[in-house]
Structures are given as structure tokens and as C-alpha cells.
């Protein structure tokens, strides 16, 4: 048994009397192959963050502060993630314990016994995501259940009229009279009694399908204290490929501020409150040349009615490149293949389509890169909470002094804008080619593009290819996805910022691969790409005023990038 501790911070003040939480996450995840061959099942992404984060964030939000995570298969990816992304939060006590012999969930839970100091404990399996307030009394034990129609997959409970559990049926081979499936959440108000139960079944070698199961330990537990079933209403099962995909679909249609999604079978229908922008998106999909349609989900139906436009596409279950970048255990050389595949395809196939239709392409460059940026910055300056960021005479980021936007941007733009404004770079573009808009099938080495922006200045299909390359650059090098997923820490006092982005050495190497692919393989100008990236980060500031820390992080990244470009071009 190997244990390590790391303290992390709760999202809310911890509530008094919360029990210790045990999260068994050591299994091989055979029902999730091939994905679970690369990463632990608890690290598989679900709507842009891994399963373990959904579990921890929900529990932390409810005031739980003491955790033991049981890891096994590829466990260092799980432990590294939790340490990296939660380590700056004081207030939690997280212990990691390795299960070296994978002989069942009951055995896994028993490994936590030395760290369970509370009378009771809460057990949440590492593939169970839930969103429900837990009411845990001091004198009653509960197991959470949900009705199912595929009983052979589950451990089921039988209850009496008072809700007391009177029997367990573990993954029955034949039809049974109950549909109440245990979802993987157990509250045991007498933790010591449960640990005694595990010792009892191990001493008698009481296994089910060659493993020591929770249900067997609970049968011993119930000889002294009853256990009751409690219905869980909002639960997402991630234990097998089909239930995981169903959970992904359910989370995909969760309410969003501006867009709505409806999934029917293998199609997804999108509507948006931003109708003019959405009409541009629909037109992009339906106007795409035939030779490029393999790079988008199939368009099933659409309507350009200005009052109620909609777009129906095939549902593509593959993860986004953002999810792979943040959470997957892909080798750096695999990332070389991925990035070369995407950039080669873009530069060879998309670039060959001259889809721009403007009589004033130079004006479109100016409107898109300069005028829009000035308007966005003015928007920030009108917000008294953030305008001070543009008043500093110097900006200090991680101890290094930088020239601020107000003194530098126009000087750099005078040099760079004529360089980037080239008619030969106008072609069919996606317009928002960041990692989160690329669905990537690692096994098939293929990708689909979603959520195009649909305009560049007055152009609807065409634009500057360097803009899309800068979008890739701001994901791989600028760490955009880390910021939008709050995987960073920032301190700010007056003009001084300390920004820590929780990226690994492999992320750094992936960024370097992207640079080499762009500059060596396709002869793109790094100064031009990085200048456009600085514009991207500056121009997105007003879009994130409801997330002040993200906004400040974008400001830091933009300032550093602008200064790097200035150092290279202003003295030439």
C-alpha cells in the first residue's frame, strides 16, 4: 500500500460534520476499452473535464473536505492530475492509496481504513457522476439507486415498504423482480462495521465473479444496522462505453446561455439566440465544397428562417482535441501525428478553396484585426473593475517586466499589420479552429470540425488562413483551454501578476511540435501567428468579464505574446 497526501481547497466553506469520502478508482475499466487502455477510467473526459473532477467538484461544493482516492491501473495519471489541479486550494485533505491487487471494490474501500477518522463514511465509485444534494444523517445508512431496464449489468437491491434493503442481486443472469440498481454511492454511518464486514468476507473468501464485492460486505453490515435505499435523480453512469456515451449526450443538452442542443438518436439539433451569427454558421456548413465535407459532421437538416433557424448534424461521439490535450495520456509523438494531420489537411485542402468574396479585402483585414480589437478593449476600459489593467505604466508578470498594451500595441501593429494583410492568404477558413472545435478520432486518425465562426470582416466563407493557424496556436502554445477550464492559479496586486498554468512538460513539447510544424513544414511566420494570437487574447477580454480571473490570465498571456513579438520586430 502506497499513500501520499495533498491538501486542496474547497469551493465553499466546509460544512461541519461531513464524513470522510472514499473514491475507489483502481479498476482496469475493461468495459471502457480502448480508451481505458490509455488513461484510468476516472480520467476519461465528460463534457470537457474528467470524471474525477465532476465527482470532486460536486462533493467539494457540498462542503466535503476529507478524501481518500484509491488508484491502480495507470494511477499516476489520476494522482498527478488531482495534485496538479487541486493543489493550490488550501482546506482539503486528500490521501492517495494504491490498490496493487485488483480483487474487487470492497477490498479497495478497505484500504482507506487508516485514513477514515469520522464515524461514518461516504463511498463514491470513480465512474459515478451525480448532481444532487446529499442528506446524510448520523444514525442511518443509505445506498443510492436508480431504476434500470438492463438488470444483468447491475447489482440490484430489493427493499421493503419502508425502503429498507432486504436483499441484493448482483448482475443476475436471469430476470428478477426489482429494477433498483445501485449507482455507486454509499453512505455508511458506521464505517468500522463496514470494514469489519470486508474482513469477514475476505476471511471466508466470499467472492462474486472472483472479486470481493460491496454487496457482500453490506450483507454482514446489515446484521447489526439496517441500510435504506435512496433514489438518486440526477446521475450519469460512465461504467461502460454505451452508458458513457448516453451520459455524454445527456450532459451535452444541458442548458446553455445562448445555444440549445437537442439529441435524437444519432443526430444533434442546434438553435441559438444569436440568430445572425448562427445563420452565418449554418451557411458555412451547407456551402462547404463537396471535397471538404468529410471534415464536418454530416448535415442532416437545416432551416435559414431568420426567426427560427436550426441546424441538425450527425452526432459524432469522439472527444474534442481540447479534452485529449488536457486529460488524455497520448504520447507526444502521437500529438505530432495529430497536429501534422490537421495542419497538412488545412494547408493543402482548405487553402486551395478561394472562397473570399470581398471587394475590400484590405478593409476586412483592418476591421477584423484592428477595429474589432480596439472596440473590445474600449469595452473593457468602460468597466471600472478592469479598466485599471490598461492604465499601468508597466506590467509585471511572474517577476518579469513588460511594456503595456497602451504603449506597445499600435507600434507593433504599424509593423505587423502590413505584413499580415496579404491577398494570397485569403481562402476558405473555419474561423474558430481552436482545440475545442475539433473532434478527433485517435484510433482512426481522422477529425471533424464543428462550431465555425462563419465570417471574417464582411466575408462569410473566406478569410485569413493565419487566423485559423493562430487559433490552433492559442490552444497549444497560449494554453487557452487551461484557462477556460480554470486549470490555473493567478494572484494580482496592482500592476503585478503571478500566473501559474497547470501544464506539464509534455504540453510544452506539444507546443514546440506545433511551432515546428507551422514554421518548418509550412513556412508560416511565427511573428505573424503570435501577433494574431495576442490580438485573440486581448479581444476576448470583454467576453469573460463574468470570470475575472480568466480575464486577467488572458491579459497576461496577451501581454507576454505582444512583448515577444515587439522584441523581435521593432528593432528590425
Q: How far apart are CA 6 and CA 91, in angstroms?
A: 10
Residue of 222, 298, 263 whose CA lies nearest to 47: 263
Burial pattern 38-74, b for ≥16 Cβ within 10 A else e, equals bbbbbbbbbebbbbbbbbbbbbbebbbbbbbbbbbbb
Position 9 scores a pLDDT of 39
Strand partners, 448: 439
Domain positions in the chain = 3-236, 253-314, 326-569
**pLDDT tens per residue, the chain (572 residues)?**
334 434 343 333 334 579 999 999 987 655 544 554 567 888 888 877 889 999 999 999 999 999 999 999 788 889 988 988 776 677 888 999 999 998 899 999 999 999 999 999 999 999 999 999 998 888 899 999 999 887 777 888 999 999 999 988 877 777 788 889 899 999 999 999 999 999 999 999 988 888 898 989 999 999 999 999 999 988 877 666 666 666 666 666 555 566 888 888 889 999 998 899 999 999 999 999 999 999 999 999 999 999 999 999 999 989 999 999 998 878 999 999 999 999 999 999 999 998 767 788 999 999 999 999 999 998 888 877 778 888 899 999 999 999 999 999 999 999 999 999 999 999 999 999 999 999 999 999 999 999 998 678 888 889 999 999 999 999 999 999 999 988 888 999 999 999 999 888 999 999 999 999 999 999 999 999 999 999 999 999 998 888 899 999 999 999 999 999 999 999 75
H helices then E strands: how many in the chain? 17, 26
Position 261 scores a pLDDT of 87
Tell me, rounded to whole angstroms, the distance of Cα 154 from its chain centroid.
28
Q: Hunting for cell 480568466 — which residue is that?
A: 550
Q: CA dist 276 to 170, 282, 380, Å?
A: 54, 10, 24
Tell me if 261 sits within 8 A of 268, measured CB to CB.
yes
Give the containing element (helix H, strand E) for 516. Answer: helix 505-516
CATH level 3 topology of 326-569: Aminoglycoside 3'-phosphotransferase; Chain: A, domain 2 (3.90.1200)
Position 243 scores a pLDDT of 66
Residue of 403, 410, 405 whose CA lies nearest to 370: 410
Residue of 293, 291, 309, 311 whose CA lies nearest to 301: 311
Greatest Cα pair distance, the chain, in angstroms, is 83
What's the pTM value of the predicted model, to 2 decimals? 0.82
Position 112 scores a pLDDT of 96
Q: CA dist 153 to 107, 149, 156, 173, Å?
A: 21, 10, 9, 9
Q: How far apart are CA 430 and CA 441, in angstroms?
A: 19
CATH level 3 topology of 253-314: Phosphorylase Kinase; domain 1 (3.30.200)
- Degrees to nearest 5, angle at CA 553 with 467 and 529: 20
Q: How far apart are CA 279 and CA 296, in angstroms?
A: 17
Residue of 340, 272, 349, 332 whose CA lies nearest to 306: 272
Position 30 scores a pLDDT of 52
Which residues are within 8 A (CB) of 407 and not within 5 positions of it... i.e. 6 or more apart? Answer: none
Cell of 126: 470513480
Please provide the DSSP assignment of 89-131 as one string.
Answer: -TT-EEEEEE--S---HHHHHHTTGGG--SSSEEEE-TTEEE-
Position 322 scores a pLDDT of 94
Phi, psi of 181 (to 5 degrees): -95, 135
Cβ neighbour number for residue 444 with a 10 Å cutoff: 8
Phi, psi of 111 (to 5 degrees): -65, -20
Supply the CATH classification number for the domain 3-236. 3.90.550.10
Amino acid at each position: 500500500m502506497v499513500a501520499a497526501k495533498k491538501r486542496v481547497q474547497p469551493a465553499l466553506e466546509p460544512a461541519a460534520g461531513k464524513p470522510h469520502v472514499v473514491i475507489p478508482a483502481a479498476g482496469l475499466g475493461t468495459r471502457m476499452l480502448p480508451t481505458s487502455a490509455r488513461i484510468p477510467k476516472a480520467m476519461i473526459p465528460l463534457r470537457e473535464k474528467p470524471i474525477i473532477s465532476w465527482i470532486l467538484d460536486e462533493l467539494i461544493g457540498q462542503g466535503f473536505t476529507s478524501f481518500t482516492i484509491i488508484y491502480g491501473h495507470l494511477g499516476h495519471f489520476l494522482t498527478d492530475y488531482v495534485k496538479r489541479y487541486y493543489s493550490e486550494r488550501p482546506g482539503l485533505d486528500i490521501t492517495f492509496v494504491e490498490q496493487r491487487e485488483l480483487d474487487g471494490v470492497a477490498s479497495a474501500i478497505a484500504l482507506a481504513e487508516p485514513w477514515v477518522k469520522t464515524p461514518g463514511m461516504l463511498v463514491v465509485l470513480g465512474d459515478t457522476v451525480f448532481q444532487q444534494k446529499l442528506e446524510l444523517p448520523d444514525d442511518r445508512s443509505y445506498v443510492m439507486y436508480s431504476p434500470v431496464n438492463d438488470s444483468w449489468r447491475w447489482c440490484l437491491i430489493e427493499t421493503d415498504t419502508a425502503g429498507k434493503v432486504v436483499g441484493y442481486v448482483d448482475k443476475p443472469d436471469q430476470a428478477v423482480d426489482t429494477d433498483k440498481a445501485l449507482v455507486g454511492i454509499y453512505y455508511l454511518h458506521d464505517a468500522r462495521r463496514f470494514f469489519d464486514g470486508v474482513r469477514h468476507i475476505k476471511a471466508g473468501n466470499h467472492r462474486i465473479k472472483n472479486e470481493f464485492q460491496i454487496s457482500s460486505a453490506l450483507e454482514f453490515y446489515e446484521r447489526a444496522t439496517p441500510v435504506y435505499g435512496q433514489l438518486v435523480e440526477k446521475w450519469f453512469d460512465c461504467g461502460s462505453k454505451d452508458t458513457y456515451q448516453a451520459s455524454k449526450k445527456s450532459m451535452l443538452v444541458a442548458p446553455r446561455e445562448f445555444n440549445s442542443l437537442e439529441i435524437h438518436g444519432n443526430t444533434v439539433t442546434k438553435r441559438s439566440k444569436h440568430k445572425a451569427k448562427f445563420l452565418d454558421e449554418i451557411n458555412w456548413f451547407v456551402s462547404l465544397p463537396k471535397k471538404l465535407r468529410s471534415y464536418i459532421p454530416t448535415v442532416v437538416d437545416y432551416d435559414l428562417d431568420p426567426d427560427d433557424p436550426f441546424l441538425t448534424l450527425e452526432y459524432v461521439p469522439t472527444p474534442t482535441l481540447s479534452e485529449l490535450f488536457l486529460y488524455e495520456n497520448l504520447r507526444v509523438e502521437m500529438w505530432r501525428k495529430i497536429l501534422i494531420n490537421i495542419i497538412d489537411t488545412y494547408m493543402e485542402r482548405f487553402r486551395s478553396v478561394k472562397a473570399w468574396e470581398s471587394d475590400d479585402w484590405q478593409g476586412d483585414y483592418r476591421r477584423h484585426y484592428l477595429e474589432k480589437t480596439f472596440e473590445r478593449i474600449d469595452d473593457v476600459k468602460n468597466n471600472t473593475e478592469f479598466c485599471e489593467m490598461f492604465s499601468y505604466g508597466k506590467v509585471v508578470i511572474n517577476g518579469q517586466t513588460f511594456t503595456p498594451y497602451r504603449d506597445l500595441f499600435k507600434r507593433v501593429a504599424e509593423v505587423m499589420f502590413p505584413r499580415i494583410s496579404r491577398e494570397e492568404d485569403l481562402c476558405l477558413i473555419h474561423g474558430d479552429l481552436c482545440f475545442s472545435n475539433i473532434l478527433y478520432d485517435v484510433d482512426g486518425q481522422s477529425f471533424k470540425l464543428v462550431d465555425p465562426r462563419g465570417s471574417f470582416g464582411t466575408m462569410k466563407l473566406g478569410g485569413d488562413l493565419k487566423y485559423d493557424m493562430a487559433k490552433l496556436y492559442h490552444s497549444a502554445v497560449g494554453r487557452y483551454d487551461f484557462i477556460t477550464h480554470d486549470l490555473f492559479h493567478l494572484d494580482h496586486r496592482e500592476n503585478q501578476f503571478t500566473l501559474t498554468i497547470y501544464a506539464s512538460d509534455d504540453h510544452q513539447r506539444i507546443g514546440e511540435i506545433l511551432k515546428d510544424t507551422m514554421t518548418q513544414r509550412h513556412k508560416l511566420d511565427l511573428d505573424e501567428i503570435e501577433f494574431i494570437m495576442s490580438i485573440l487574447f486581448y479581444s476576448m477580454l470583454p467576453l469573460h468579464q463574468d470570470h475575472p480571473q480568466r480575464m486577467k490570465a488572458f491579459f497576461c498571456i496577451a501581454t507576454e505574446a505582444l512583448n515577444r513579438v515587439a522584441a523581435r520586430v521593432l528593432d528590425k
